[in-house]
Amino acid sequence: MRIASWNVNSINARLETVLRWFEEAKPDVACLQEIKCVDEKFPAEALERLGYNVAVHGQKTYNGVALVSKTPLEDVRRGLPGDETDEQARYIEALVSGPTPVRVASIYLPNGNPAGTEKFTYKLAWMERLNAHARDLLAYEEPLALMGDYNVIPEPRDAAHPENWVDDALFRPESRAAFRALKWLGLTEAFMAIDGAPESYTFWDYQAGAWQRNNGIRIDHALLSPQAADKLRSCVIHRDVRGWDKPSDHVPIVVDLDL
Structural domain including 200 reads: 2-257
Q: What is the pLDDT of residue 208?
A: 87
pLDDT for 177-207, tens place per residue?
A: 999 999 999 999 999 999 999 999 999 999 9
Give the list of residues 6+ apart from residue 139 with CB closer than 8 angstroms, or none: none
The reply to whether 108 belongs to the active site is yes
d(CA 128, CA 228): 23
Q: Low-confidence residues of the chain, pLDDT below 50?
A: none
Q: What is the pLDDT of residue 116?
A: 93
Nearest to 69 by CA among 146, 2, 141: 2
d(CA 237, CA 254): 6
The reply to whether 28 belongs to the active site is no
d(CA 87, CA 157): 34
Q: What single DSSP character describes residue 180? A: H
CATH number at residue 192: 3.60.10.10
d(CA 102, CA 27): 14
d(CA 166, CA 149): 19
Contacts 24+ apart (CB under 8 A), 133-139: 133/80, 133/81, 133/82, 134/182, 134/185, 134/187, 134/223, 135/185, 137/103, 137/225, 138/185, 138/186, 138/187, 138/225
Q: What is the pLDDT of residue 254?
A: 98
pLDDT for 97-137, tens place per residue?
A: 999 999 999 999 999 999 999 999 999 999 999 999 999 99
d(CA 41, CA 236): 30
The structural domain count of the chain equals 1
Consecutive H or E run containing 32: strand 29-33
What is the chain's percent helix, strand, coil content, to nearest 5? 30, 25, 45
Q: Which of 149, 168, 220, 256 is catalytic?
A: 149
Q: What single DSSP character describes residue 153? A: -
Q: What is the pLDDT of the chain when averaged over all its residues?
A: 97
Whether 22 and 6 have beta carbons less than 8 Å apart is answered as no
Q: Which of 52, 108, 150, 201 is catalytic?
A: 108
Whether 224 and 254 have beta carbons less than 8 Å apart is answered as no
Whether 147 and 3 have beta carbons less than 8 Å apart is answered as yes
Whether 3 and 255 have beta carbons less than 8 Å apart is answered as yes
